[in-house]
């Protein structure tokens, strides 16, 4: 994580205090740097397909999921969210991996010393980090609160997603590996659409096929797939 990539950002204001955060950006955000042009261009190609075949049809959300750990699901979700924001689409990225959150590994928030902390009773939608980058807002797993079962499996998450899909032009949800929990399937059933991520020499075709079948059985439509390389 590059420390010199930090920037201050006002995220909330109250009568007596302003909450300021700065963010450290990882070098794995290939859509922000010039160091890995081939990977950045691949993400932009995915962006083009998502815009043409998904967003232009009026769909406002997408779950990014993988069959097993280590396929680059979070890498794909974060970079795709940034790529969409770069063409002027108001984008919200949600980290729904409540067991092993990955978003802070890519964009790490740090509260400036002396700033007033968030109120503990604020709802998840009120904890969204707005405009971390132009047109890009974030909701960290730690800000989703509650237990996994209480949140992802209930009406609270459905209502949260309805609000997010209404307030932002596009919402991307990063999820944990399907082999480790059913969270990805539950989230996809709410959002309705999924992008499956695999990795060369890591992912088995049968695992991708099984995940796609499970998603469809749970009412989510698979809109495409991404193959990451080692």
Residue pLDDT, tens place only, 179-208:
999 999 999 999 999 999 999 999 999 999
* Residue 117, in any domain of the structure: no
Among 76, 160, 110, smallest CA distance to 5 is for 110
* Residue 83, in any domain of the structure: yes
* Residue 109, in any domain of the structure: no
* Residue 155, in any domain of the structure: yes
Is the pLDDT score of 15 beyond 50? no
In angstroms, rounded to a whole number, what is the distance separating the alpha carbons of residues 104 and 95?
9
Q: What percent of the chain has pLDDT over 70?
A: 82
Neighbouring-strand partners of residue 198: 227
* Residue 15, in any domain of the structure: no
Task: Note the pLDDT of residue 77.
Answer: 98
Is the pLDDT score of 145 beyond 70? no
Confidence of residue 163 (pLDDT cuts 50, 70, 90): very high
Task: Note the pLDDT of residue 143.
Answer: 84
* Residue 67, in any domain of the structure: yes
What CATH number does the domain containing 97 carry? 3.40.50.300
In angstroms, rounded to a whole number, what is the distance separating the alpha carbons of residues 152 and 135?
26
DSSP annotation of 92 reads E
pLDDT in tens, 63-100: 999 999 999 999 999 999 999 999 999 999 999 998 89
Task: Note the pLDDT of residue 230.
Answer: 66
Residue partners of 93: CB distance under 8 A and separation at least 6: 77, 78, 81, 103, 136, 137, 138, 139, 171, 172, 173, 174
Task: Note the pLDDT of residue 2.
Answer: 42
Beta strand 193-199 with 61-65 is: parallel
Neighbouring-strand partners of residue 129: 138
Our count of domains for the chain comes to 1
* Residue 8, in any domain of the structure: no
| Token pair recorded at residue 210 | 């099984």
Q: Which residue has the higher pLDDT, 147 or 161?
A: 161
Model pTM score: 0.87
Task: List Cα–Cα distances, 12 to 116, 122, 163, 203, in angstroms.
Answer: 10, 12, 19, 42
Q: Which domain holds residue 150?
A: 35-102+123-228
* Residue 82, in any domain of the structure: yes
């Amino acid at each position: 994580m590059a420390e010199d990539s930090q920037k201050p950002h006002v995220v909330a204001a109250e009568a007596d205090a302003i909450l300021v955060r700065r963010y450290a950006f990882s070098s794995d955000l290939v859509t922000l740097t010039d160091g890995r042009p081939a990977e950045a261009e691949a993400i932009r190609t995915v962006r083009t397909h998502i815009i043409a075949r998904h967003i232009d049809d009026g769909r406002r959300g997408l779950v990014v999921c993988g069959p097993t750990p280590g396929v680059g699901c979070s890498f794909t979700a974060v970079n795709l969210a940034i790529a969409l924001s770069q063409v002027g689409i108001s984008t919200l990225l949600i980290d729904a991996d409540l067991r092993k959150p990955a978003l802070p590994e890519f964009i790490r928030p740090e509260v400036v010393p002396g700033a007033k902390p968030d109120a503990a009773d604020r709802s998840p939608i009120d904890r969204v980090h707005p405009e971390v980058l132009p047109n890009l807002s974030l909701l960290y797993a730690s800000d989703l609160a509650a237990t996994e079962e209480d949140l992802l499996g209930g009406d609270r998450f459905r209502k949260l997603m309805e609000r997010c899909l209404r307030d932002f032009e596009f919402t991307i949800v990063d999820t944990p590996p399907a082999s480790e929990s059913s969270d990805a399937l539950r989230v996809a059933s709410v959002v309705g659409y999924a992008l499956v991520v695999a990795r060369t020499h890591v992912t088995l075709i049968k695992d991708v096929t099984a995940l796609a079948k499970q998603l469809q059985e749970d009412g989510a439509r698979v809109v495409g797939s991404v193959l990451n390389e080692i």
